[in-house]
Structure 1
Amino acid sequence: MRAGGGAMGEGVDEAGWDVEPGDEIEPVVQAVGRLLKVCREAAGVSVPELGEAMGYGEDMIRKIERGARIPRPELLDRADTFLKAQGHLRAFTEDMKKARYPKKVRELAEMEGRAVEMSLYSNHNIHGLLQTEEYARALLRTWRPAYSPDQLERMLAGCMARKSVFDRSPAPEFSFVQEEVTLRRPVGDTMVLRRQLEHMLEVARLPFVELQVMPTARANHPGTGGRIQVLKFADGTGMGRTDGDFSGRPVSNPRQLRVLDLRYGIIRAQALTPEESLVFIEQALGEL
């Protein structure tokens, strides 16, 4: 289940992304940079020659070689062939795929990748796992201070990569509850919202997904404290988070998880049924 739409932003350097200071992935990026330099020198290729062959400037190649820039996997693949590196550079393509996403996105994706059950309540925006690429892009552009084009594309790539969780076999069991306002707010514009709602209907019909809508008229439910997220893992442990308690930090203590389970259970019970919710979203589409 992939989100469609949206090309890479204009003006964004395609060679990779800057390393976030203090990111634990930094030593790996530095090692890849040193390896690129060793392979380049062993092949008798200068920095300008490699830059020209890869389609990038000399400064960008030097930045990658000193570990300040995360190279795109495609660049490593092409450089491996050009420098006759016998697969040594290509071996790091999977590591660089992970490294290019912001740290907080990698951490969330790792937990979602282990989850067998997800309960997700969203009260302000459509949940990230339900977002189309163009909706996510428009939403990221509203954040302040504003992302640079490079930062925005990196964050967007990470958000979209999380959606691979829908392709797992067996897939986790998903329960989404969305506040009505999230279906009404025209993030981007009306057509972006229309395609977003159409995508939600598609996701909602997956056999392992239950999507429910909480009508605005249902005022007396425990979702007023903000988003709720509860992930359950195969070993019986779990992780939860809410805007309202625990300083917004992830929690795994069984007592704290029971609090979140209780709140989510009440929210889910008070929301429209999955069948009623499909009708509600279709009606919202018809009003656009």
Structure 2
Amino acid sequence: MAQSKKKDSAPPTVQYFAAVLRLLRERAGLTQDELGALMNYTGSAVSAVETCAKPPTDEFIDAAEKALDAGGLLRSAIKYLRLERYPVYFQGFVQLEQEAAAVSSYCTQVIDGLLQTKDYARALLKSAYPPFEEEELEQLVEARIDRRALLTRKPMALIHTIIDEAALRREIGGSEVTRAQLRHLIEYAQLPNVTIQVMPLSRAEHAGLLGPMKLIETPDAATLGYMESNGESTLVSKPDRVSPLARRYAMMRTQALGPEESQNFIEQLMGER
């Protein structure tokens, strides 16, 4: 009964993958233990996926794909299973983000999820209230880290972020985690497609005081705006509403420190820890 409830409450894509995996396994005439042995997994691990007790990892899917010679059927589910690791309100944005030609963001409280280290992301997600269960927390951390594939994707996507100084100074996870995160930003700033600017606290009045935002340029050259707060999100697609956001962001770029100044600023903050 408990397994049935778990299966019924699992996301639709997880349920579908479980059904296809079981069908392919049975057609191959394999038990769960036998399939697990071919995959270097236990039979109980296969059972956990088939009963939706645990969602499959990318590594599990690759192993099952090879063991069952599935012709891409199982591996094709990875994209959709990854989406279901995110909160519902964020799933649509992630899909747009991963297909984007360019992503621009302004961050006020925390560093952009695309540029977070695993330790920083975990500490940040641990601060959520109501708190996540440990298994859900780890799934959310992995999902956030998966987004970084955009940074090295081909064709190359252009990434620009403006980070408020307050977000850089906030010690999410403590001084060591924050220091590693700052070092991470400097490393990412060396990539040819990533530009990082800092909005210093000394710039008391600037165009970003209305709050954080993101702009996405789609492959067909359309621009979309995205904002979120307290588990709610807004996607802006009408040109007459996107235009003020784009102009505001352009002004912020002129008001923030330049890329080289920003890197020096982040290095200085690292030295303070």
TM-score by length of 2: 0.82
Instruction: Out of 93-102 and 48-57, give the one that drifted further.
Output: 48-57
Partner of 2:139: 154
Partner of 2:174: 189
CA distance in structure 1 between the partners assigned to 2:207 and 2:7 by the alignment: 40
1:109 matches 2:91: no
Q: How does 1:29-178 map to 2 (within 5 A)?
A: 29-42=14-27, 45-46=30-31, 54-55=41-42, 57=44, 61-62=46-47, 64-67=49-52, 69-79=54-64, 85-87=68-70, 91-96=73-78, 98-100=80-82, 101-102=85-86, 103-104=88-89, 106-178=91-163
CA distance in structure 1 between the partners assigned to 2:17 and 2:195 by the alignment: 43
**What letter matches 1:189 in structure 2?**
G
CA distance in structure 2 between the partners assigned to 1:210 and 1:35 by the alignment: 43
CA distance in structure 1 between the partners assigned to 2:240 and 2:194 by the alignment: 27
CA distance in structure 1 between the partners assigned to 2:217 and 2:119 by the alignment: 30
CA distance in structure 1 between the partners assigned to 2:32 and 2:153 by the alignment: 41
Q: RMSD over aligned Cα, in angstroms?
A: 2.9
Deviation at 1:121, TM superposition (A): 0.3
CA distance in structure 2 between the partners assigned to 1:161 and 1:70 by the alignment: 15
**What letter matches 1:55 in structure 2?**
T
CA contact (8 A) 2:65 2:75 kept: no
CA distance in structure 1 between the partners assigned to 2:219 and 2:25 by the alignment: 45
1:268 corresponds, among 236, 241, 253, to 253
SS of 1:231's equivalent in the other structure is strand
Partner of 2:165: 180
CA contact (8 A) 1:73 1:94 kept: no
CA distance in structure 1 between the partners assigned to 2:192 and 2:62 by the alignment: 38
CA contact (8 A) 1:119 1:176 kept: yes
CA contact (8 A) 1:122 1:228 kept: yes
Deviation at 1:80, TM superposition (A): 5.8
CA distance in structure 2 between the partners assigned to 1:235 and 1:275 by the alignment: 31
Consecutive unaligned residues of structure 2, counting only runs of 5 or more, are 1-5
SS of 1:250's equivalent in the other structure is strand
TM-score by length of 1: 0.78
CA contact (8 A) 1:33 1:65 kept: yes
Aligned residues: percent identity? Answer: 33
CA contact (8 A) 2:90 2:233 kept: no
Consecutive unaligned residues of structure 1, counting only runs of 5 or more, are 1-17
User: Deviation digits for residues 73-131 of structure 1, max 9, x if unmatched?
Assistant: 4334545666xx3336x631341354042255543332122222222100000111111
Cα 1:216–1:80 shift into 2, 3 Å? closer
SS of 1:91's equivalent in the other structure is coil
How many residues are matched? 261
CA contact (8 A) 1:120 1:230 kept: yes
Cα 1:193–1:41 shift into 2, 3 Å? same
Deviation at 1:71, TM superposition (A): 2.3
SS of 2:55's equivalent in the other structure is strand
CA distance in structure 2 between the partners assigned to 1:51 and 1:243 by the alignment: 42
Deviation at 1:140, TM superposition (A): 0.9
CA contact (8 A) 1:225 1:243 kept: no
More helix by share: 2
